[in-house]
């Protein structure tokens, strides 16, 4: 099947010409181009997704998880980390078990990666919308309990907390990506954490120490350490365009766009919930009862468009939503459009809007 595109992002570079898929794989690229401005990009990979289409992943049953996967795929996201907010440990372990039960049920939606535990080992001063009553100081026994409850690919923690180093060691031993976030780490603590094995920061600039020119914090250190991937919410609300350009300029090839999507994503304005916390969607912005940002409601492709509008090159913005996050979690088979590779593909028009999505070569109904 020819996709009818004029070009594609292939192995991180622009390749003129049409793309052919067959038997769930990319069969050929660089074929005679189709007329028009349609382009193909790899299916997007989202490492921070708390919900979608009215479904909160903290409480979702198998059918609800399938709804999230299908809705995300229709928006061009063909793989995602189901993400869990700081919560009661019993509810978190139950949610992890449900995600494991749903992971191998193939209904044609986005691939379900291991969970992203955003907490509970966070800084109280940078807690954001996370319920403070469920925040915990570093506790290796509790972390081991959570890891034993279901597949986990990423854990966000505040590395400056006393005892956090033991958590980093445990996570690395279990093959889990450690991301620093909801953190008030100073430069020394941030460097020490990266030296120990932290390889990512969660939603750069948000809920973390920043860019003070005499007292740099986690954000500044992350941008200067070449082994660190900085995840970033480019929804048009969390970060100003100048800061998006700064991140991409300071860390080329090391920015991963994420959504921080909540159940309100794809829904009309109104009340919603985030792991039991009441939130409200209004005008594309999700806020908690205190008026603070509480996750987001912009699909990942919207983040690509926002980055491009901010001045980031198209190919680089696509890479930040595909190959960079896929490689961070050790999945080189995802987020890549290459001959012989998995046919997870999004076809975009000249306005970078979705016209067609394929997951394993199967076309999703929009």
Distance CA 226, CA 218 (A): 14
CA–CA distances in Å: residue 118 to residues 106, 135, 145: 26, 11, 15
260, 269, 333, 349: the catalytic one is: 260
Distance CA 236, CA 310 (A): 10
Q: Which residue in the block uniquely carries the two structure tokens 């594309």?
A: 284
Distance CA 234, CA 299 (A): 10
HSE of 273, CA atoms in CB hemisphere, 13 A: 9
The full DSSP string for 297-354 is ---HHHHHHHHHHTT--HHHHHHHTTHHHHHHTT-TTSS---TTSB--EEEE-TTS-E
Distance CA 117, CA 120 (A): 8
- Residue burial 128-137, b: 16+ Cβ < 10 Å; e: rest: bbbbeebbee
Is 100 a residue of the active site?
A: no
**Cβ 191 vs Cβ 165: under 8 Å:** no
Which residues are the active-site residues? 260
């Amino acid at each position: 099947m020819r996709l009818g595109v004029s070009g594609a992002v292939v192995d991180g570079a622009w390749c003129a010409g049409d793309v052919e898929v067959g038997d769930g794989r990319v069969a050929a690229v660089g074929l005679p181009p189709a007329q028009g401005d349609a382009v193909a990009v790899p299916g997007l990979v989202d490492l921070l997704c708390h919900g979608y289409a009215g479904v909160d992943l903290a409480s979702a049953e198998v059918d609800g998880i399938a709804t999230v996967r299908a809705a995300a795929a229709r928006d061009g996201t063909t793989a995602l980390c189901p993400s869990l907010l700081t919560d009661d440990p019993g509810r978190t372990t139950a949610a992890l078990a449900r995600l494991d039960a749903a992971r191998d049920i193939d209904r044609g939606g986005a691939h379900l990666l291991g969970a992203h535990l955003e907490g509970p080992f966070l800084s109280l001063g940078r807690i954001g919308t996370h319920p403070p009553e469920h925040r915990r100081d570093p506790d290796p026994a509790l972390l081991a309990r959570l890891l034993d409850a279901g597949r986990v690919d990423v854990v966000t923690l505040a590395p400056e907390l006393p005892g956090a180093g033991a958590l980093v060691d445990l996570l690395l031993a279990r093959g889990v990506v450690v991301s620093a976030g909801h953190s008030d780490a100073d430069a020394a603590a941030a460097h020490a954490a990266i030296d120990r094995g932290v390889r990512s920061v969660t939603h750069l600039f948000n809920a973390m120490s920043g860019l003070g020119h005499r007292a740099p914090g986690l954000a500044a250190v992350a941008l200067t350490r070449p082994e660190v991937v900085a995840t970033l919410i480019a929804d048009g609300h969390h970060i100003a365009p100048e800061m998006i350009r700064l991140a991409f300029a300071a860390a080329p090839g090391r920015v991963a766009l994420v959504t921080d999507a909540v159940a309100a994503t794809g829904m009309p304005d109104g009340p919603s919930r985030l792991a039991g916390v009441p939130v409200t969607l209004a005008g594309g912005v999700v806020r908690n009862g205190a008026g603070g940002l509480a996750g987001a409601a912009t699909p990942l492709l919207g983040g690509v468009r926002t980055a491009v509008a901010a001045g980031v090159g198209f190919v680089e913005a696509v890479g930040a939503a595909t190959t960079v996050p896929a490689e961070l979690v050790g999945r080189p088979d995802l987020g890549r459009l290459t001959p012989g590779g998995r046919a997870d593909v999004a076809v975009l028009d000249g306005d970078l809007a979705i016209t067609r999505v394929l997951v394993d070569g199967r076309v999703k109904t929009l």
